[in-house]
Amino acid sequence: MSKFITKIFVITLLFFTTSSLLLAQDKAAPAADKPKADHSYKPLTLKLNEDGSKYVRFITWHQFWLTHTANNPGTLDIEGKEAKTSTDFALRRSRFLIMAQVSPRFLILTHWGINNQSFINGGASAGSNVSSSGASNAGKRPQMYIHDAWAEFAVVPDKLYLGTGLHYWNGISRLASQSTLNFMTLDAPIVNWATIEATDQFARQFGIYAKGQLGRLDYRIAANKPFANGAAPTAVTSPNAVQILNENWAALGYLDWMFWDKESNKLPFFVGSHLGAKKVFNLGAGFYYHPNSTGSRTIEGTDTTFNKHNTLLLGVDAFLDMPINKDKGTCLSIYSGFYNYDYGPGYLRNIGILNLHTNTNPTAASLAGGGNAQPTLGTGIISYTQIGYGLPKFKNGTQMMPYVTTTFKKFERLNDPSVQFDFGLNYFVTGHNAKVTLQYSTRPIYTPAGDLDSSKGEFILQTHIFL
């Protein structure tokens, strides 16, 4: 089965490559009575005045995945049988965004949708969504929820804006506010969203933010009230730090120096790659601080002591994105970030994107559990680098971009560090508006004792369209 699926991915890749080459070589002139089709992208915008300075902008997008995963050791499927591999169709993201510039001073944005719906998850939990026959419907009817809901006031245009709400003006790094519309890679490495679904709502928190540009300096700072999530302090028994319930505010910020072309900060979403449309070189640094947000318990004989710990997350990064040959459309994109995360002693989170199977056979289990879960966030250091090169455009305007990423993680809780890779190929039909991406990703496998044991892989084929 695994070899069959692999062949399907290879055939799919060859299909897109061959189709593009054939179209590029087609020199036949269009019929005189048939106008040439216009495939250019035009934003969905409703003008509220004649010059368009007041407007409502609509954006919608879908990202659909076909995945084939070599599961972690001991993984069990929904029938309780050993599942060495899993194959699935899934919605990674399905979103809708409305932004209104109602006056030169005010902007309002609302963004909602779903994430990570597969045949087995994405909806209600199995226990609360069971049919009269006893069958679980956990994959059906996922709850639509708000991603962003914030309003902004221009105090000093370009230099200072203040906003409030459920927002995405994050600290730590560029990737912490990465747009999901224009990844250079298939997706984010997840290490960039350091509080993902722990004390935030898919990388968003309630708060007050300030942002602007002072010459070459782009800045964003915020004071947030993170979501309450975790254990009651009295219930903590682990010597390793875990999330605890608290009402403490968090402070965060990110500073970005733009050496070449300036990037827009109209919205918080950083572009993954401009595909040669801009010449960008930026250096950035950021932080996230949430006091007394985790806890642990030390035991010495009959004495136990509860300890509170601060979460302090730091990041520095560099982003280079530039055209190489404008006539041919070639371009280069490089991002590299270094993260120093401190959630408290021994803190560790295992995460698996669109993880189908979390149940395991205890006699053959990995530290992260079943499916594609892996140690993703924790106290320690992480470095992440991605490099992509846009090949010459075909005559029909489509383009290929191969890329590679590498992630190094060294967590305090684990005995060994890990290195993992992504190898991918983008096929841009109409830039980031319509593209197909094929990626193979590796991930480390740790024993329950925290020793690095082996590596597993996953194929992902994505179709992505946004308008």
pLDDT in tens, the chain (467 residues): 555 455 555 556 555 555 555 455 544 445 556 677 777 788 999 999 999 899 999 999 999 999 999 999 999 999 999 999 999 999 999 999 999 998 999 999 999 999 999 999 887 554 443 443 444 567 888 889 999 999 999 999 999 999 999 999 999 999 999 999 999 999 999 999 999 999 999 999 999 999 999 999 999 999 999 999 999 999 999 999 999 999 999 999 999 999 999 999 999 999 999 999 999 999 999 999 999 999 999 988 888 999 999 999 999 999 999 999 999 999 999 999 999 999 999 999 999 999 999 899 888 889 999 999 999 999 999 999 999 999 999 999 999 999 999 999 999 999 999 999 999 999 999 999 999 999 999 999 999 999 999 999 999 999 999 99
* Plot region of 290 (φ>0 → left; ψ -120 to 50 → alpha; else → beta): beta
Instruction: Look at residues 74, 169, 23, 46 and name the one whose alpha carbon lies nearest to residue 366.
Output: 74
What gap in Å lies between CA 250 and CA 209, rounded to an integer? 12
What gap in Å lies between CA 311 and CA 435, rounded to an integer? 38
**Which residues share a beta bridge with 250?**
224
**At CA 184, angle to CA 180 and CA 187, rounded to 5?**
50
Radius of gyration of the chain (CA): 23
What is the residue-wise DSSP string for 319-344? EEEEEEETTTTEEEEEEEEEEEEESS
- The amino acid present at 112, given as its one-letter code, is W
- Confirm if 206 and 166 have CB atoms less than 8 A apart: yes
* Plot region of 298 (φ>0 → left; ψ -120 to 50 → alpha; else → beta): beta
pTM: 0.92
What gap in Å lies between CA 440 and CA 424, rounded to an integer? 6
Nearby residues of 338 by Cβ (< 8 Å), 6 or more positions away: 315, 316, 317, 381, 382, 383
Instruction: Look at residues 403, 462, 458 and name the one whose alpha carbon lies nearest to residue 429.
Output: 462
What gap in Å lies between CA 359 and CA 172, rounded to an integer? 33
Torsions phi, psi for 442 (to 5 deg): -105, 160
Instruction: Look at residues 420, 464, 415 and name the one whose alpha carbon lies nearest to residue 443.
Output: 420
Torsions phi, psi for 287 (to 5 deg): -155, 165
What gap in Å lies between CA 350 and CA 78, rounded to an integer? 20
**Which residues share a beta bridge with 455?**
444
What gap in Å lies between CA 263 and CA 142, rounded to an integer? 35
What gap in Å lies between CA 359 and CA 80, rounded to an integer? 8
The helix (H) or strand (E) run that includes residue 180 is none
What gap in Å lies between CA 259 and CA 242, rounded to an integer? 40
pLDDT in tens, 14-34: 555 555 554 555 444 455 566
- Confirm if 335 and 385 have CB atoms less than 8 A apart: yes
- Both tokens assigned to 297: 């318990």
CATH number, span 49-129+140-466: 2.40.160.10
How would you class 283 by CB atoms within 10 Å of its CB: exposed for 0-12, middle for 13-18, buried for 19 or more?
A: middle
